[in-house]
Chains A and B, each alone.
Chain A
Amino acid sequence: MADEPLLRVEDLQKSFGGVTAVDGVSMEVYPGEVHAVIGPNGAGKTTLISLLAGELRPDRGRILFGARDIARRPAHARAKLGFARSFQITSVVPGMRVLDNVMLAVLARDARSFGFWRPARNDPALIRPAVAALERVGLAEVAEERAGAVSHGEHRQLEIAMTLAAEPELLLLDEPMAGMSAEESRRMTGILEDLKGEKTMLLVEHDMDVVFALADRISVLVGGRIAASGAPEAVRADEAVRRAYLGDEAA
Chain B
Amino acid sequence: MDAGLVAAQLLNGLQLGVLLFLLASGLTLIFGIMDFVNLAHGSLYMVGAYFCATLTEATDSFLLAVALALPATALVGAAVELLVVRRLYRRDHLDHVLATFGLILCFDTLVQILWGPEGMAIRLPAWADGQQHLPGGLVFPTYRLLIIGAGLAVAAGLYVLVVKTKLGMRIRAGASNPAMAGALGIDIGLLFTLVFALGAVMAGLAGMMIAPITEASIGMGNEIIITAFVVVIVGGIGSIRGAFVAALLIGLIDTMGRSFLDMGLKLIIDVQAAETSAPALSAMLIYILMAAVLAFRPQGLFPPKAR
Residues on A lying within 8 angstroms of B by beta carbon are 53-55, 74-76, 79-80, 83-85, 87, 91-96, 100, 103-105, 107-109, 111, 114-121, 123, 146, 148, 162, 166
- Looking at B164, B170, B180, the one whose CB has the most chain A CB atoms below 10 A away is B180
**Residues of A with C-beta under 8 A to B177:** 91-93
Whether B164 and A108, one on each chain, are in contact in the complex, defined by CB atoms closer than 8 angstroms, is no
Our pick among B166, B176, B181, B188 for the contact of A95 (Cβ within 8 Å) is B176
Measured CA separation A103–B304 after assembly (Å): 20
In the complex, number of A-B residue pairs with CB atoms less than 8 Å apart: 103
Whether B165 and A104, one on each chain, are in contact in the complex, defined by CB atoms closer than 8 angstroms, is no
Our pick among B165, B169, B170, B180 for the contact of A91 (Cβ within 8 Å) is B180
**Residues of A with C-beta under 8 A to B188:** 76
Whether A55 and B182, one on each chain, are in contact in the complex, defined by CB atoms closer than 8 angstroms, is yes
What is the minimal beta-carbon distance from B89 to any residue of chain A, in angstroms? 15
Main secondary structure of the interface of B (DSSP, over half): helix
Contact of B172 with A by CB under 8 A: yes
Contact of B219 with A by CB under 8 A: no
Measured CA separation A233–B259 after assembly (Å): 82
Contact of B58 with A by CB under 8 A: no
Whether B172 and A107, one on each chain, are in contact in the complex, defined by CB atoms closer than 8 angstroms, is no
Our pick among A53, A95, A114, A116 for the contact of B183 (Cβ within 8 Å) is A53
Whether A162 and B167, one on each chain, are in contact in the complex, defined by CB atoms closer than 8 angstroms, is no
Our pick among A95, A100, A109 for the contact of B184 (Cβ within 8 Å) is A109
Closest residue of A by beta carbon distance from B187: A76
**Given known A-B contacts A94-B305, A95-B305, A75 and B183 have beta carbons under 8 A apart:** yes
What is the minimal beta-carbon distance from B198 to any residue of chain A, in angstroms? 11
Contact of B173 with A by CB under 8 A: yes
**Given known A-B contacts A94-B176, A96-B306, A148-B305, A118 and B165 have beta carbons under 8 A apart:** yes
**Residues of B with C-beta under 8 A to A121:** 164
**Residues of A with C-beta under 8 A to B176:** 93-95
Interfacial residues of chain B within 152-175, with CB under 8 A of chain A in the complex: 161, 164-170, 172-173
Our pick among A79, A104, A111, A117 for the contact of B182 (Cβ within 8 Å) is A79
**Residues of A with C-beta under 8 A to B173:** 93, 104, 108
Closest residue of B by beta carbon distance from A93: B176
**Residues of B with C-beta under 8 A to A146:** 305
Whether B183 and A120, one on each chain, are in contact in the complex, defined by CB atoms closer than 8 angstroms, is no
What is the minimal beta-carbon distance from A5 to any residue of chain B, in angstroms? 22
Measured CA separation A109–B173 after assembly (Å): 13
Contact of B179 with A by CB under 8 A: yes
Contact of B136 with A by CB under 8 A: no
Measured CA separation A206–B173 after assembly (Å): 29
- Looking at A53, A84, A93, A121, the one whose CB has the most chain B CB atoms below 10 A away is A93
Closest residue of B by beta carbon distance from A55: B179
Whether A85 and B165, one on each chain, are in contact in the complex, defined by CB atoms closer than 8 angstroms, is no
**Given known A-B contacts A91-B179, A95-B172, A105-B184, A119 and B164 have beta carbons under 8 A apart:** yes
Contact of B186 with A by CB under 8 A: yes
What are 6 A-B pairs at a CB distance below 8 A? A55-B179, A91-B179, A93-B177, A118-B166, A119-B165, A123-B166
What is the minimal beta-carbon distance from A217 to any residue of chain B, in angstroms? 24
Measured CA separation A96–B307 after assembly (Å): 11
Our pick among B161, B167, B184, B304 for the contact of A115 (Cβ within 8 Å) is B167
**Residues of A with C-beta under 8 A to B135:** none
Measured CA separation A80–B186 after assembly (Å): 9
Our pick among B170, B184, B304 for the contact of A162 (Cβ within 8 Å) is B184
Closest residue of B by beta carbon distance from A81: B185
Measured CA separation A175–B170 after assembly (Å): 26
Other A-B pairs, 20, CB within 8 Å; known A94-B307, A116-B166: A75-B183, A76-B187, A87-B179, A91-B179, A93-B173, A93-B176, A93-B177, A93-B306, A95-B305, A96-B306, A103-B169, A104-B169, A109-B184, A114-B190, A115-B166, A117-B167, A119-B165, A119-B166, A120-B169, A166-B184
Measured CA separation A84–B185 after assembly (Å): 9
**Residues of B with C-beta under 8 A to A92:** 177, 180
**Given known A-B contacts A93-B176, A94-B306, A116 and B184 have beta carbons under 8 A apart:** no
Measured CA separation A179–B184 after assembly (Å): 23
Our pick among A79, A84, A100, A109 for the contact of B169 (Cβ within 8 Å) is A100
Whether A79 and B166, one on each chain, are in contact in the complex, defined by CB atoms closer than 8 angstroms, is no
Our pick among B164, B181, B306, B307 for the contact of A120 (Cβ within 8 Å) is B164
**Residues of B with C-beta under 8 A to A107:** 166, 169-170
Interfacial residues of chain B within 217-242, with CB under 8 A of chain A in the complex: none
**Residues of B with C-beta under 8 A to A111:** 185
Measured CA separation A111–B190 after assembly (Å): 14
